[in-house]
Amino acid sequence: MNYDNEQAELADLALAAAEELKEAGEPLVVWAGGDAPNQQNWLVKQFRTRFPEVPLRLKVDLSKYHDIKVYQELLDGALTPDVVMLQTSHDFEAWRDMGALEPFTPQSFPSLVPGYGDPDGAFLPAYLTCFLPQYARSVSAAPSSYHDFLRPEFRHRLVLTPPHDDDAVLFVYDHIFQEYGRRFLEKLAEQKPHFLRGTAAPAALVGHRKYLGNLTGYLTPPNQPAISFVPERDFFISWPQRAALFRLTRHKAAARLFLAYLTSYEYQSLQNAWSVRTDVDPPTGLRPLGDYPNTNPLEFIDWMRDREHLHELRQMMMAIFGPVYGQSPLTDPALLKIYQQTKL
């Protein structure tokens, strides 16, 4: 397939962005959702290598913190970020309906999976994320379902994200609740798991220290002490992280460059992950996402709209697992040490 049109667009936008930022004496500012400060380092490195003349400042924070600041700045009429890229998919729909977003349809637009973004380009899918259960290579038998984590060997050896502290994790636990009932969650609590805020630290710790399992980890590279797996029957979450620029965006050429690059075949094909594009192969050893009947990226988007249901679920999870403790995973010294030691 020929991607000359995408490359030509990137070249034109790069020239415009460099001139724009040079004149302003400011960098392109992106606010990205995440729960470890280095989660977007690879993207930043790729962008800076590809466009060295376009300075980029990317700030990672929890999506539920970023969005509050965006709403406040929109009310104030002055916006710090040029691009916002978050897990909270419902926010983009709200901002679109407020008339706050600046539509953009890059040359990549026809290749994006329908439904992941806005049909008119008000917001775009940046990348596709999934959570997969993980287990340490040292376990006696490889688990194939969430129910397997109730085995005695996992008692005191699970490291988990509090489900009532992260909407994507809460979505997984909602499915578990619907499938197995409240009693399963109570039995999981009886396993005495170690809870850490964010998804990054639990994912990093499986296979280290005493930890043998995690229900919402990441796709694990080969030769790691932990193994991730796609459940045979149980649900697993996948969703497109959304991104957009705003009518108040100050550096619009640079913002368009960032979004065009993010959704380009050039960038999307570099990742060993499921893609938001229809023309990128799935991760090594896995089938196309649509071949798995136990995940649906659009379901999470629908689920996120029902904020009352999410509130009720959080209350139930707090009753079962207890309150959330600890600092933000972006600033907690103990968690920062974990990221450094495990080279997350």
What are the extents of the domains in the chain? 4-129+239-268, 132-236+306-342
Calpha distance 134→218 (Å, rounded):
8
4-129+239-268 with 132-236+306-342: one CATH topology?
A: yes
pTM, 2 dp: 0.95
- Around Cβ 309, how many Cβ atoms within 10 Å? 13
Its CATH architecture, for the domain 132-236+306-342, is 3-Layer(aba) Sandwich (3.40)
Which stretches of the chain drop beneath a pLDDT of 50?
A: 344
Query: Closest Cα to residue 58, out of 79, 89, 82, 87?
Result: 82
pLDDT digits (tens, 9 = 90+) for 97-137: 999 999 999 999 999 999 999 999 999 999 999 999 999 99
Could you tell me the sign of the dihedral formed by the alpha carbons of 246, 248, 252, 255, in that order?
negative
pLDDT digits (tens, 9 = 90+) for 158-213: 999 999 999 999 999 999 999 999 999 999 999 999 999 999 999 999 999 999 99
Query: Closest Cα to residue 235, out of 172, 183, 313?
Result: 172
At residue 69, what is the residue type?
K
Interacting residues of 19 by C-beta distance below 8 A, sequence separation 6+: 253
Its CATH architecture, for the domain 4-129+239-268, is 3-Layer(aba) Sandwich (3.40)
